[in-house]
Every structure is written in C-alpha cells, then in structure tokens.
C-alpha cells in the first residue's frame, strides 16, 4: 500500500477531531471540508442540508471507468464520562494515540465516523492512486435523524458506493436495518411536596451503555429502565413516592449508561425504602452482574424539594418506562445472531413544563417495525403521553447480484490472508437512504475496528486503519 496512507489519514482525523461537530451542528466541519477541497483544486459543493460533495477526476487512462462514490458522515455522538466537563458545541475532542489505539480523554472519540471522513480525504489527496472518476460524499446528521434521506439524488449518480461507517475490520456489511425516532411527551404538572417528607437521590451509573443497534443484543442494562423498575418496587410496596426529578441517557440511539431520580418520601418510610432498594440491587447483580461489572448504585439524602410531579403523572412516567418496548423485540429466523427488531429508550428529561422521553426503534422487517410503533403509541396513550413519530431511516436490502461484495472479499483475502465475513447489521446505515434514491447502486460498508462507540470508552485500532486503507485502495484500482 501507499506508505503515507496511514500517516495522512491519522493527521486528517486529528484535525477533524479538533472541530466540534455534534449532530445538527456541522456548520464548522462543513466549512472546513469545503475549504480543504478548494485548497487542493477539487470540485466541491454543498447541498441544501449541508452535505459536502467533492469530485476527483479519474487517474490518467481510466476516465471511462465507472464512478465510485466514497461516503462517510461528518457528525458524531458526543458523550462524556461521569464528572467530565465537556461542551460538545465548543470543546475539541482530545485524541490520544498510544501507538496501538486512538481514544479520547473523557469523551467519545468520534471515530464513528471521523476516521471514515479522514480516510476519504486521504483518497482525495493522494494523486498517485489509480482509480476511475471518484466522488466523496460527506453527510450531516447521520447519528440523530439520518438527514441524507433529503440528499438530492443527482449526487448519487454512480455505479458503486463504499460506505466507510463500519466498525469491524474483516467484516463487510451488505444490508442494514431501518429505524424510527420516537418522542414521548406529557405536560409536567407539579404539586407542593409535603414539608415533613425527606428527599432521597438514587443514582445508577457506570453501566456499559453503547450503540443501540450493534450492542442491543449484548445483555446490557438500560439505566432508565433500571431506575424505573426500582421506583415501581417502592410504589408496589405502598410507599407514596413523589418524583422531584428523573433524568438519564444522552442520546436516543445510545443505551443509557447512567440515570438518576430524586424522590420525596415520608420520613418514617426511609428505612423501608433503603431496604427495598438494597434488595433491588441484589436482584440487579443477579441479572447483570457478569456484564455490568463497573456499575455503582447510590442512595443519598438530599435537601428536600419544594415541588414534586403530581402523583398520577409521576406514576404514569414510571409505568411508561416499565411498559414500553425496550431491548430486543425479535431475532431473525434466517440469520443466526442477527437482531431482527428492537427498541431503545435512550434519553429522559423533565423541565418545568414538559416530560420528554426519546427512543429509537430499529427493524429490518417492515412488519416488525409496525408492530413496535403500534405498541409504543398504544402504551403511550394509555399512560397519558403523546407519542410523536419523528424521523424515519430507510432499510437497505441485500443485493444478490452485487459485484462489489465478492471483489472486496477477494481483495481482503489477498491483503490479509483471512476470509472476510459478509453480514447484515441491526444498526442503521445511510446506504438505506441511498438505496431509496438509486436502487442500482452496488454498495458495501467497511471500516477499521472500533470499540464502545457512542461512549467515553470508544477506541479505534490503528493497524486496522492501515489495512482498511490498503483494502479501499486496491478495490478502487480493480474497479478502474
């Protein structure tokens, strides 16, 4: 491979990481990419939603080869470790290169999909590469709504598309689930707390969390559901619970790794409550102890709150979290280990006026998606909440006539000596949006090995970046 491919890719990634780019706030990274292309004399434009499209002419003698599109997304899921001060709109990601892996100090790394963007920039920059007409599409807001659904189809005029938003070297994705974003809301109505009541704060943190698609089948605990389960036990034991606050999670497409609730209870019930919560923790360990080894559950006395949610509303919130579909719904009967449908309750907040719970449903089968959406709507209505169906992510079906899939497998075997695994994924990929606009595109998704994406433990294996670059370079040359 080109000896400078890895160095240039890592250099570009470090530059990208310095630019804040949470979903819905890609203006600065978009402007950077446009200026980057102009400095190199490449044709570049932005569409109406901010996607950056860069064209590179074919290498000499390969002008008649089919156009290949390289695609990655520029936004990232910004989450910070407990206790880390981090402003995703203004603070850069502090990348650490220890020689083997890339990781970030106290936050998510953003290699999903910053490393894909960086690799695409390398392919544009290296004029010694052999390829046909090359187009790079760098999209906005993939993580929180899949805005590429609105991309004008003219930009998808090509024969092949290589998506670089994949997280396992040696694995090739040829199909992805669709998904739907849901929001459950109810008016927050408050009442005066009993002045004689005492306040307790229940905090569950240190869970693994992670991507709500690729990690949903790993048996990880959802912190919001766990706190709701604990509160249900108190209510079922006859304890009059007043909810002063309840929050947790950081994104609808990330499994909540932490949650907390502040409750008001009669002072004479405090001992009973602590005993009930102690029993709950023992049961939690039985269910999740081998998986959630880093958790902490604390119950602390707090300053009394002046207001609590009206009892009916507080109980309806707890019931909603206990009843809504969460985690795996069905497994595929055709592909072993593939989650067919699931839902993740990802983010909860309560302000003075509104209770808001956000969730994401995923499915590769339309029937199962309808099943989950209907159940969510009916449960919400029964609990007095409004369910709003927000953005939809299209599915990407398997192409049985793909030429790109066997070619990529052949090249990977030659480069590494290993066999590439071809597999669909339960996560959503932008290939679904592209498939809707150009069903003739022959597409694959590949990428270097990432771990714990959408979490502060996210890491990227450096050697896998080198191999991925070599793989893409050779695929482009053979397609030319």
Residue 215: closest CA among 451, 462, 464? 451
The pLDDT tens digits for 223-266 are 999 999 999 999 999 999 999 999 999 889 899 999 999 999 99
For residues 72-81, average pLDDT: 95
Give me the catalytic one of 12, 142, 143, 442.
Answer: 142
Per DSSP, 93 falls in state P
CB 73 within 8 A of CB 140: yes
Mean of the per-residue pLDDT values for the chain? Answer: 95
**139-157: b or e for each residue (b if 16 or more CB lie within 10 Å)?**
bbbbbbbbbbbebeeebbe
167 is catalytic: no
Please determine, for residue 2, whether its predicted confidence score (pLDDT) is greater than 70. Answer: no
The pLDDT tens digits for 181-238 are 999 999 999 999 999 999 999 999 999 999 898 899 999 999 999 999 999 999 999 9
> Does residue 257 sit in helix, strand or coil?
coil
Please determine, for residue 38, whether its predicted confidence score (pLDDT) is greater than 80. Answer: yes
CB 397 within 8 A of CB 424: no
DSSP E strand boundaries for 164-285: 171-176, 178-187, 190-192, 197-205, 210-211, 242-248, 254-255, 259-266
Q: How many CA atoms lie within 13 A of 428 on its CB side?
A: 33
Q: Does domain 180-392 sit in CATH 3.30.70.360?
A: yes
Domain boundaries, the chain: 5-177+395-479, 180-392
Q: Phi first, then psi: what are they for 259, rounded to 5°?
A: -160, 160
Please determine, for residue 106, whether its predicted confidence score (pLDDT) is greater than 80. Answer: yes
The pLDDT tens digits for 372-431 are 999 999 999 999 999 999 888 888 888 889 999 999 999 999 999 999 999 888 887 899
Q: How far is CA 293 from CA 198, 213, 258, 288, in A?
A: 31, 21, 14, 8
Per DSSP, 311 falls in state H
Q: How far is CA 113 from CA 17, 106, 110, 154, 453, in A?
A: 11, 18, 6, 24, 10
| Cα 266 from Cα 8, distance rounded (Å) | 63
Q: What pLDDT does 399 receive? A: 87
Q: What pLDDT does 13 receive? A: 98
Percent of the chain whose predicted confidence (pLDDT) is above 70: 99
Give me the catalytic one of 12, 51, 75, 180.
Answer: 75
Q: How many CA atoms lie within 13 A of 375 on its CB side?
A: 14
Better-scored residue on pLDDT, 455 or 41 = 41
CB 54 within 8 A of CB 42: yes
Q: What pLDDT does 162 receive? A: 98
75 is catalytic: yes
For residues 117-133, average pLDDT: 97
For residues 60-72, average pLDDT: 98
pLDDT band at 3 (very low <50, low <70, confident <90, very high): low
Please determine, for residue 93, whether its predicted confidence score (pLDDT) is greater than 80. Answer: yes
**Pairing label, strands 68-73, 134-139:** parallel
CB 183 within 8 A of CB 390: yes
Q: Which residues contact 465 (CB under 8 A, 6 or more apart)?
A: 6, 9, 10, 115, 119, 448
Q: What pLDDT does 166 receive? A: 93
The pLDDT tens digits for 137-195 are 999 999 887 888 899 999 999 999 999 999 999 999 998 888 999 999 999 999 999 99
| Cα 111 from Cα 118, distance rounded (Å) | 9
- Rg over alpha carbons for the chain, rounded to the nearest Å, is 24
Architecture of the structural domain at 5-177+395-479: 3-Layer(aba) Sandwich (3.40)
For residues 289-297, average pLDDT: 97
Per DSSP, 268 falls in state G
Helices (H), 383-425: 404-416
Q: Which residues contact 41 (CB under 8 A, 6 or more apart)?
A: none
């Amino acid at each position: 491979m080109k000896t400078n491919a890895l160095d240039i890719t890592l250099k570009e990634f470090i530059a990208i990481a310095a630019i804040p780019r949470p979903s819905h706030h890609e203006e600065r990274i978009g402007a950077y990419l446009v200026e980057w292309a102009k400095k190199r004399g490449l044709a570049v434009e932005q569409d109406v939603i901010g996607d950056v499209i860069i064209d590179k002419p074919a290498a000499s003698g390969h002008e008649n080869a089919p156009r290949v599109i390289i695609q990655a997304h520029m936004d990232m899921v910004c989450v910070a470790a407990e206790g880390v001060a981090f402003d995703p709109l203004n603070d850069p990601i502090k990348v650490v290169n220890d020689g083997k892996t890339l990781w970030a100090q106290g936050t998510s790394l953003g290699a999903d999909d910053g490393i894909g963007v960086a690799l695409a920039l390398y392919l544009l920059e290296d004029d010694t590469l052999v390829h046909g007409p090359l187009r790079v599409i760098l999209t906005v807001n993939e993580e929180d709504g899949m805005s590429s659904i609105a991309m004008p189809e003219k930009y998808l005029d090509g024969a092949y598309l290589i998506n670089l938003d994949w997280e396992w070297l040696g694995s090739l994705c040829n199909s992805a689930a669709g998904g739907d974003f849901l929001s459950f809301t109810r008016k927050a109505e408050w009442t005066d707390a009993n002045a004689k009541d005492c306040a307790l704060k229940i905090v569950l943190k240190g869970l693994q969390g992670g991507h709500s698609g690729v990690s949903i089948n790993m048996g990880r605990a959802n912190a919001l559901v766990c706190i709701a389960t604990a509160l249900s036990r108190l209510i079922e034991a006859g304890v009059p619970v007043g909810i002063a606050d309840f929050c947790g999670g950081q994104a609808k497409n990330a499994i909540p790794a932490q949650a907390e609730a502040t409750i008001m209870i009669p002072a004479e019930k405090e001992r009973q409550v602590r005993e009930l919560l102690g029993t709950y923790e023992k049961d939690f360990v039985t269910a999740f102890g081998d998986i959630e080894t880093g958790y902490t559950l604390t119950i602390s006395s707090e300053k009394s709150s002046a207001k609590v949610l009206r009892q009916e509303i507080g109980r309806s919130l707890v019931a909603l979290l206990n009843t809504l579909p969460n985690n795996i719904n069905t497994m595929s009967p055709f592909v072993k280990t593939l989650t067919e449908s699931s839902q993740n309750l990802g983010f909860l907040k309560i302000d003075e006026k509104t209770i808001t719970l956000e969730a994401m449903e995923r499915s590769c089968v339309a029937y199962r998606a309808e099943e989950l959406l209907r159940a969510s709507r009916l449960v919400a209505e029964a609990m007095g909440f409004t369910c709003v169906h927000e953005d939809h992510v299209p599915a990407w079906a398997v192409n049985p006539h793909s030429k790109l899939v066997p070619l990529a497998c052949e090249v990977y075997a030659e480069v590494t000596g290993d066999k590439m695994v071809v597999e669909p994924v339960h996560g959503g990929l932008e290939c679904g949006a592209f498939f809707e606009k150009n069903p003739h595109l022959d597409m694959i998704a590949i990428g270097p090995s990432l771990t714990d994406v959408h979490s502060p433990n996210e890491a990227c294996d450096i050697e896998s970046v080198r191999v991925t670059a070599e793989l893409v370079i050779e695929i482009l040359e053979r397609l030319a």
